[in-house]
Amino acid sequence: MRVLQANKFFFLNGGSEAVMFKERDFLRGHGEVIDFSMKHERNLPSDHSGRFVETRDYGAGSPLARLASGLSMVHSPEAVSKFGALLDETRPDLVHCHNIYHQLTPGIIGAAKRRGVPVVLTLHDFKPVCPVYTRLRDGKPCSECADGAFSRVLKNRCADGSAFKSGLLFAEAVVQRWMGSYEQVDRYVAPSAFMRDAIAARAPLDRIAVLPNGVDVSAPPSTGDAGYILYFGRLSAEKGVGTLLRAAERSAFRWPVRVVGTGPLEAELRAAFPQARFDGHLSGEALREALRQAAVVVIPSEWYENCPMSVLEAMAAGKPVIASRIGGIPELVAHDETGLLVPAGDADALAQAMASLMEDAERRQRLGRAAYERARQRFSDERHNQGLLEIYNSVLQS
């Protein structure tokens, strides 16, 4: 099978790229993978980098330059032209799009369809039903555009309060709907049932396949427990790390809290909560060791998470997860079986949940073992990869 993968970044920029590269490695063992992306100094090697689009920085340059870049964000003739040339050169059986908006634009979907190539698109975020893609307004979960009335992004100035940026995102949403870009997708891959239901206004349910992200479960679950609470992820408001630290403050940080990650709130949180240990960015073996020795992992998100890899990685390590009951998280964490679910943004409920596990080592171990088994049975890389092939085959045979 010959698959063309399209994603705006060709380096590990976040969770969606981690999923894409794992799928790429798997697919290369079952045929050929063709890459399409944006040029960047951090890119990994690719035989097809000559067809990548130029790097774009939408906040740089004169007002006229920013406007020109903004218009290319709405629809990129360069990306469509280079993508079409790559299609003609390589003749893939199928195109699999990941994050393609802005630098590549959904216009490339039409280029594939005009050549009779079917298109699969993984929904890593809410872009088809939210022009700013996060479903956040003023830092709070929002569903105002879920029905397709995108003019609200203008009214609410959802893009950092900027009328100009919000106008560009509104134009992008309207143009792509007029072009029918998302409507031409043959099959959407939704990593959660929550995501499937969220985009119902843009696609019939029979064109959306629910396929959770996969995680490596080849290592046995960790038996380590150094007695600390671990958070790992971006240090930003929607991730709820501030709520976690306020919850820990309720017990005067009776149990150590390790915070792994960086982000816009890092300096503020370090100053406000000197009792916590801030490790900054960790990756590879350092992050795995921090996870192996954790007593519990807390994922206190306050936005509509899709299928967060942090939850899956904690489960695969055999750790109980305390997480917010929001978005797709309840599809991963079974309350009081593999971890605990609490209302998003509720520091008191989170403090009680942390105390209930930190005071009971046997319960932590029991939930952790069950978490690993749930990950092994439902969310393994092998299960994900098999599901991906089944989606591809269903599209190619239709």
DSSP state of 192: S
Bridge partners for 179 per DSSP: none
Write down the pLDDT at residue 73. Answer: 74
Query: pTM here?
Result: 0.93
Distance of CA 199 to the CA centre of its chain: 16
Could you give the domains of the chain? Answer: 2-214+381-397 (3.40.50.2000), 229-378 (3.40.50.2000)
DSSP state of 80: H
Write down the pLDDT at residue 59. Answer: 57
Write down the pLDDT at residue 66. Answer: 59
Distance of CA 145 to the CA centre of its chain: 20
Write out residues in the chain with pLDDT < 50, as ranges.
none
Of 74, 245, 106, give the one whose Cα is nearest residue 170: 74
The one-letter amino acid at 194:
F
Write down the pLDDT at residue 202. Answer: 86
The alpha-carbon radius of gyration of the chain (Å, integer) is 22
Strand, helix or coil at 64? helix
Which residues are CB-neighbours of 311 under 8 A, at least 6 positions away?
A: 299, 321, 323, 329, 332, 333
Identify whether the C-beta of residue 295 lies closer than 8 Å to the C-beta of residue 266. no
Q: What are phi and psi of 192, to 5 degrees?
A: -150, 155
Write down the pLDDT at residue 363. Answer: 98
Write down the pLDDT at residue 398. Answer: 84
Write down the pLDDT at residue 63. Answer: 60
Write down the pLDDT at residue 301. Answer: 98
Write down the pLDDT at residue 62. Answer: 57
How many Å apart are CA 46 and CA 321, to the nearest integer?
37
Q: Locate 364 and state its tokens.
A: 């932590």
- Report how far apart, in Å, the C-alpha atoms of 172 and of each of 151, 188, 318 are: 11, 20, 43
Identify whether the C-beta of residue 264 lies closer than 8 Å to the C-beta of residue 288. no
How many Å apart are CA 210 and CA 197, to the nearest integer?
10
Strand, helix or coil at 74? helix
Write down the pLDDT at residue 397. Answer: 94
- Report how far apart, in Å, the C-alpha atoms of 105 and of each of 26, 89, 176, 361 are: 26, 21, 9, 50
